[in-house]
Structures are given as structure tokens and as C-alpha cells.
Copies of this chain bind each other. A is one copy, B any other.
Amino acid sequence: MDDVVASHAAAVRLVRAAEQIKRDFARAIAPSGLSVPAARTLLLIDAPMPMREVSERLACDKSYITRIADELEERGLVRRVSGDDRRVQLLELTPAGTRLRRSLFDAFAATNPVARRLGPADRRALDRTLDLLPPD
């Protein structure tokens, strides 16, 4: 029962740490003017990617990707291009998208608490702990 309380506290702390990471991320990408999910999508697209795959990787509904793609396309950061299967639309970075993506990576690296506060050994310890928790 002490165990319950300790586990509860640890879970709360873990959630708090995640929220801090998210706040730092939001702050890091704010100058870009992108919404958080649009920035997450931009970071995800390392090569032209079907919108369905984006929705799977972000673990959200496909209808939501339509919005994000609209936002990124209006900003000239991605293009929709048709796949071989003509139902499929791939999101492809424009040159401007590629540049912004790189700068978002740098900004995130500069603020991400995991990068700033954890040394390699600490990070390995974190990885081992996360290995124990269920994926997805």
C-alpha cells in the first residue's frame, strides 16, 4: 500500500516531466509560428510520407492530418504529392520546409531537458527504465 503511493507519485512525476518537455518544445518552436502538432509533423517527415503513416506515427486520427497538412502547405513547408496508389497523398518537404525542420531540431536540442540535464549514462538508465514500460 506504501507501494501504491510510491508508484502513484512516480507516475505523477513522470507525467510532469513529460509536460515540462512539451512546454519546452512549444517554447522552442514558438518563433516558427507553427502549431505544436504541425511542428511535430515537420520533424517526423524525413522523407515523403503518406498522410496515413503520419497519422499512425503521431497516433492520431487521419482527419486531423488533413488540418496539419493544410497548415504546413499554406506556409509553403510541405507539398502534397500523389503516390503510385492514387488514393495516397505523400507529404514532401519543400526546401523551406527542410530548412525550418533543421532549425527546429536545433532549437529543440537546445531546450530539451533530456539533452540538457542528462549525461549519456543517465540517458541509458532512462532508456532501460522506459524499456520496462509498455510501448505505445
Interface of A is mostly: helix
Stretch of A9-17, A73-81, A87-95 that contacts chain B: A9-17
How many chain A residues have a CB neighbour from B under 8 Å? 41
Q: Scan A100-119; emit 1 where CB is below 8 A from any B CB, else 0.
A: 00000100110011110110
Chain A, range 1-37, C-beta contacts under 8 Å to B: 3-4, 6-8, 10-11, 13-22
Chain B residues with Cβ below 8 Å from A134 are: 20, 113, 117
Q: Is the CB of A114 within 8 A of B21?
A: no
Residues from 110 to 136 in A contacting B, C-beta threshold 8 Å: 112-115, 117-118, 120, 122-123, 125-130, 132-136
Distance between Cα atoms of A3 and B121 in the complex (Å): 12
> Which residues in A have some Cβ–Cβ distance to B below 8 Å?
3-4, 6-8, 10-11, 13-22, 59, 105, 108-109, 112-115, 117-118, 120, 122-123, 125-130, 132-136
